[in-house]
């Protein structure tokens, strides 16, 4: 009897725990429902309808047709002009990502080494550009890089050039603007990895006779690869889909895929073709990130990123 009673008590206790666990899961789901609903309604559903629209026909007189077609995608991938725009978009995003890594690493390293209020002030200084509108920051670069801007006037006053350099409305100006805009994301990602490095690991490397350069490439850099990867994904994703910066600093001379999408949807009113370009942009960005992730994960000098 005692054994049977103990068994029943254990069974009741198990059922109670299972009931509480189920209740907790339901509570978590209820907490997630508002956010999940907003995400589905305002993001996934519009993307779904745009995806459907990308397979529709279009006529300038009647608008979006009812027939299904692959012509929107075929037209894009068989035209050399559009393929050139794809290459320019990916190239600018990759250069921006690499430049952000090179510039952000020493900044993140110095902020990590700082103590107390100085560290807080430096972090605030890095984040302060995010408080200013992206449009205003881009127009600030227009003032600096224009033919009569600060950079050209300074170079001419020092006698380094005879006539203004063409800095604005080039890929160079777009890269500068995008690095400026996306720089804080890379710094914060690298800082997170640097702060998790055990100082004793660095001291051990130095005690074993490794120079500062070897310690950096053999210890610090491999341990910060997760942060570099996370920052690279953010910077590349935002860079490849950026519209405001290329539109202001690049203009019609430096067309990227986001600008083409805007032209087709907002100016030409060709929603099917604009939708196709937008989804090709998403596909290209996703594939590039996957390839980058595989290369970084398989690197012998890196650390595996799960």
**Integer Cα distance of 130 and 191 in angstroms:** 17
Query: For residue range 244-293, what is the model confidence (pLDDT) as tens digits?
Result: 999 999 988 888 999 888 888 888 888 899 999 988 888 888 887 788 77
**Integer Cα distance of 245 and 181 in angstroms:** 9
* Distant-in-sequence, close-in-space partners of 65: CB < 8 Å, separation ≥ 6: 56, 57, 58, 59
Q: Where are the alpha helices (H) located in the chain, listed in sequence order?
A: 2-39, 45-53, 71-77, 80-113, 116-127, 134-145, 150-157, 171-195, 199-207, 212-215, 221-240, 244-245, 257-262, 271-298
Query: For residue range 27-85, what is the model confidence (pLDDT) as tens digits?
Result: 777 778 888 888 888 888 888 888 899 899 888 777 788 889 898 999 888 989 989 99
Q: Return the pLDDT at 93.
A: 92
Task: Specify which of 10-19, 195-204, 237-246 reaches the highest per-range mean pLDDT.
Answer: 237-246
Whether 229 and 293 have beta carbons less than 8 Å apart is answered as yes
Whether 167 and 254 have beta carbons less than 8 Å apart is answered as no
Q: Return the pLDDT at 2.
A: 53
182: tokens are 């996306």
**Integer Cα distance of 220 and 64 in angstroms:** 55
């Amino acid at each position: 009897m005692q054994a049977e009673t103990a068994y029943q008590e254990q069974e009741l206790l198990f059922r109670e725990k299972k009931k509480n666990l189920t209740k907790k899961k339901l509570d978590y789901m209820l907490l997630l429902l508002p956010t999940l609903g907003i995400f589905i309604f305002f993001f996934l559903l519009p993307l779904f309808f745009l995806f459907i629209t990308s397979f529709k026909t279009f006529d300038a007189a009647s608008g979006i047709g009812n027939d299904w077609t692959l012509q929107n995608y075929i037209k894009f991938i068989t035209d050399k002009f559009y393929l050139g725009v794809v290459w320019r978009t990916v190239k600018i995003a990759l250069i921006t990502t690499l430049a952000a890594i090179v510039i952000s690493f020493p900044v993140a390293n110095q902020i990590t080494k700082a103590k107390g209020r100085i560290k807080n002030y430096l972090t605030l200084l890095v984040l302060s550009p995010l408080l200013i509108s992206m449009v205003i920051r881009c127009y600030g670069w227009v003032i600096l890089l224009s033919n009569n801007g600060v950079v050209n006037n300074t170079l001419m006053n020092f006698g380094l050039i005879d006539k203004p350099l063409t800095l604005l409305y080039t890929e160079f100006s777009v890269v500068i603007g995008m690095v400026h805009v996306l720089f804080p994301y890379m710094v914060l990602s690298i800082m997170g990895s640097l702060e998790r490095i055990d100082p004793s690991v660095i001291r051990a490397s130095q005690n074993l006779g490794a120079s500062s350069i070897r310690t950096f490439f053999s210890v610090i850099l491999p341990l910060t690869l997760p942060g570099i990867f996370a920052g690279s994904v953010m910077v590349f994703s935002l860079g490849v889909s950026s519209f405001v910066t290329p539109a202001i600093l690049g203009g019609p001379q430096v067309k990227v895929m986001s600008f083409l999408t805007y032209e087709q949807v907002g100016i030409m009113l060709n929603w099917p073709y604009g939708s196709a370009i937008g989804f090709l942009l998403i596909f290209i960005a996703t594939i590039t990130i996957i390839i980058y992730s595989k290369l970084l994960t398989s690197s012998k000098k890196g650390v595996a990123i799960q």
